[in-house]
Homo-oligomer: A and B are copies of this chain.
Amino acid sequence: MNLQPFKSVVKNFKAVFLDSYGVIKNYNGLIDGVQETIDYIRSENIVVRILTNDASRSRTQQAESFYNAGLRGIQKEEIITSGMMAKHFLEQKILAGKIAYLGTENSAHYILQSGLEHIAVRDIDLDDLDEIAAFVFLDDEGFDWNTDISKTVNLLRHKNIPVIVANSDKLYPVSKRHVSIATGGIAQLVESMLSKKFIHFGKPDSQMFMYAFEQLNKTGSYNKKDILMVGDTLHTDILGGNKFGLKTTLVLSGNTEIENAEMQINSTGIIPDFICKSIVE
């Protein structure tokens, strides 16, 4: 496995798309030295976008969170979240009724600000579903797993409505050795119980890539060959980047560990163009 210094890779591109978790930050907060890398990228006039499978917070909240963690110079306009994609879908397709959700009040607040009323699963009366027009899996927090997941199954057995998964990630790391089940994992359980397929947002789907690419081309002229996608997860970042036609870099500072990287690349067939230990090395 040929590990390359990140700077020697990124300097050949006009733009870089960075995943957030596992690339810029991890369970400890910012990855050490990341400010210096971001500054280097800026100094080389390489445009940055952050593409994150996160539907729990708005881009404004995410920009604040980078700032509060000590990372300077990330603008909210540079952040693209899977939640934004889900929000966009709902605005286009759901024009009346209430939107039911599983997640925190905060996540519901920012995603569902499309003029429609939203209602948490816990507050739904299963005998009165007439007004429910769509369902969104937003976050793995903000509800009681003991009762609300089964309640979601019952709701969706009795009411045939569009179901949106705003973040398809199945697991996220909470410490060096431990993970937690994420929104996409819960959604998959419910899909399996119902034998239905929901509408999933987030990498590897191309919507976030497309959004970032269109935005970029409003401010200049970029071909796909000019853009490097950087991520720590083969199935989301690298597969999505490859499929959209970008060059891809796998970093080993998150989900993919250095001792398993080669085996996972071989067993999945998802092949990054470059591999780096992290964006700071």
Contacts and interface: CB of A to CB of B under 8 A. Distances in A.
Given A92-B224, A154-B179, A157-B179, A197 B269 contact: yes
Interface string A180-214: 11000100110011111111000001110010000
Contacts of A266: 160
A79 interface: no
A150 interface: yes
B242 A199 contact: yes
Chain B CB within 10 A, most for which of A199, A206, A269: A269
A42 interface: no
Contacts of A156: 269
A6 to B, nearest CB: 20
A185 B181 contact: no
Nearest to A243: B199
Contact of A245 (B88, B153, B161, B198): B88
B178 A154 contact: yes
A268 interface: yes
Interface in A234-267: 235, 239, 242-243, 245-246, 263, 265-267
Count this chain's copies in the assembly.
Answer: 4
A56 to B, nearest CB: 16
A29 to B, nearest CB: 21
Contacts of A196: 267-269
Contacts of A170: 192-193
A199 B243 CA distance: 7
Interface stretch (A99-107, A111-119, A141-149): A141-149
Contacts of A146: 144-146
Contacts of A109: none
Contacts of A88: 245
A205 B206 CA distance: 8
A157 B269 CA distance: 10
Contact of A185 (B179, B192, B263): B192
A266 to B, nearest CB: 5
Contact of A160 (B157, B189, B246, B265): B265
A88 B112 CA distance: 36
Contacts of A92: 224-225, 245-246
A149 B170 CA distance: 13
A181 B189 contact: yes
